[in-house]
Amino acid sequence: MNAIARYLTLHLENLTGAVARVVDRPLGSLMTVLVIAIALVVPAGLRVMVDNARALSGTWQGAADFTVYLEMAVEETAAEALARQVGQRNDVERAELLSRSDALAEFRAYSGFGEALDLLDENPLPHALIVRPAGTGADLDRLVEELDTLEETALVQLDTEWLERLRAILDLARRVVDVTTVLLGLAVIVVIGNTIRLEIGNRREEIEIIKLVGGSDGYIRRPFLYLGLCYGFGAGVLAALIVILGLGLVASPARALMELYGSDYRLAGLSLSDAAWLLGVGGFLGWAGAGIAVARHLREVEPG
Amino acid sequence: MIRFENVRKRYPAGREALSGVTFRLEKGEMAFLTGPSGAGKSTLLKLVALIERPTRGTVLVSNQNTARIPRRRIPLFRRRIGIVFQDHKLLHDRTVFDNVALPLMISSLRRRELSGRVRAALDQVGLLRYENQFPLSLSSGEQQRVGIARAVASRPELVIADEPTGNLDPLLSLEIMRLFGRFNDVGATVLIATHDLELISGMSYRRLYLEAGRLASPDAGPSEEPA
């Protein structure tokens, strides 16, 4: 128990020592932390953006109605029956009939071709079913195919292709963000490794002396590892703040844009677990970068 | 305590610092290692502290063959030796107390015991009143005494010193040498390298005379054959 307490005391001393060392040179430390923070902000920010876009495209899922245009010969009563029939399918949430007269009225109201329509002898529009599918993917494909083979169907017009494309683009973006994350993570390791390397150079004499009086590699390594941890963790905190601040700045114009599209979607911020991740990853990368630098350069410092 | 058997040390640059050195230093003995600059005194001490390793021959320290000590065991080995340097090698951003406490902190000694030992060591060198000062505010002689306090704080069985009086006037030097004598009196084995023959002329300790990498002293150690 005593040994554990002493071990923990030693680590606590190392941690406070590292914090003191960071605070001791505020400007230099701030520069280092800022560079690392920016390297963390870019992937974190992109991730939040892509996640938002994916969540947003998810809310459009329900709006992925499609239209089944019926043959001109189909009577309104038959069309009504068909709408009921389609509406009862398991893979259909709702099917509404847009009768040809309603369609004409709508067209007249919105298209601005009202006067041109008056020149026509008869209504050129067919009855149509507005179908809201219950499923997605393969279910949706099968539904479309089956409705298309119905005798009464003239044309099935699927409006979801753009959504599929958007989703594919977002998947691609997500992958790009993943690659960027890995690359910038490596950059963080390099930056911290380099900082620690300089620190080892600055404290060369001290390291030599500690080696001469019998300090083990672990004893010498620990302050540097804690220093790396402090830099990484500090950068994680700063990065989280920057992302939160950035989202705060973007939130109001984003809401205005959403309102123009008739959506009440609210931008998702940095969740608590995301923030914890950012701090954890920052700290880990700091520790790892310092560990690599220490493993490489501590051996070079030998009393002679 | 220390045994050299036909030890040679050649540096990578090609210079041969020691060529065929054999001697013994018994437990509890104190000796001066003398000779002109460049004779190999520092090299000999470095071999004892495992700062360098011999090119040929065997170095035994407290019956342990240093060739069998791997790199990662060197720290533990050095904790049993007190080393004093000509340039003190103190940490200037730590107080006198913290400097002396360094070897004890490394051995993760309990705080209370540590304070007692540090104060005892500082008391022995007469610097207890300076424990909260920084080394640079002390004179050179005082700094050297801090270095000595650090070397003896962990009560090592062997103390080695490389030109500990190199920068000091004769009076201070004599004081430092007497200090080592006192550590020897209480049982420590002491080996001091110095080129100042005048300083040690009045002292009765054994002398090892090194010249151009060879021991030229008649009393180079008991002439018995190594077991």
pLDDT tens digits along A230-242: 999 999 999 999 9
In A, minimum Cα distance to B156 occurs at A213
* Beta-ladder partners of B84: B161
Nearest residue, CB atoms, B91 vs list A209, A216, A303: A209
B102: which chain A residues are within 8 Å (Cβ-Cβ)? Answer: 209-210, 213
H/E stretch holding B211 reads strand B206-211
How far is residue A20 CA from its own chain's centroid?
36
Q: How many CB pairs under 8 A join A and B?
A: 52
Q: What is the DSSP letter of B163?
A: S
Q: Is A65 on the interface with B (CB under 8 A)?
A: no
Contacts of A235 (CB under 8 A, 6+ apart): A33, A34, A36, A37, A39, A40, A188, A282, A286
Higher pLDDT, A41 or A121: A41
pTM over 0.90: no
Give the pLDDT confidence score for residue B168 in this predicted structure: 82
Q: What is the mean pLDDT of chain B?
A: 88
Give the pLDDT confidence score for residue A288 in this predicted structure: 95
The CB density around residue A84, as the number of other CB atoms within 10 Å, is 11
**For the segment A4-63, what is each residue's pLDDT rounded down to a tens digit?**
877 787 788 888 888 888 888 888 888 989 999 999 999 888 888 888 888 877 666 555
Cβ(A114)–Cβ(A95) below 8 Å: no
Residue B118 pLDDT class (50, 70, 90 cuts)? very high
- What is the residue type of B189? T
Give the pLDDT confidence score for residue A76 in this predicted structure: 85
How far is residue B150 CA from its own chain's centroid?
12
Best mutation target, A8, A25, A210, A213, to test chain B (most B CBs within 10 A): A213
The fraction of chain A above a pLDDT of 70, given in percent, is 95
What is the distance between the alpha carbons of residues A109 and A126, in angstroms, rounded to a whole number? Answer: 17
Q: What is the mean pLDDT of chain A?
A: 85
Cα of A298 to nearest chain B Cα, Å: 13
**For the segment A166-200, what is each residue's pLDDT rounded down to a tens digit?**
888 888 988 999 999 999 999 999 999 999 999 99
Cβ(A69)–Cβ(A155) below 8 Å: yes
How distant, in Å, are the alpha carbons of A157, A240, B104 from that of A147? 11, 50, 85
Q: Is the pLDDT of residue A137 over 80?
A: no
Residue B113 burial by CB count (10 A; 0-12/13-18/19+): exposed, middle or buried? exposed
Q: Is B51 on the interface with A (CB under 8 A)?
A: yes
Q: Is the ipTM of this complex over 0.90?
A: no
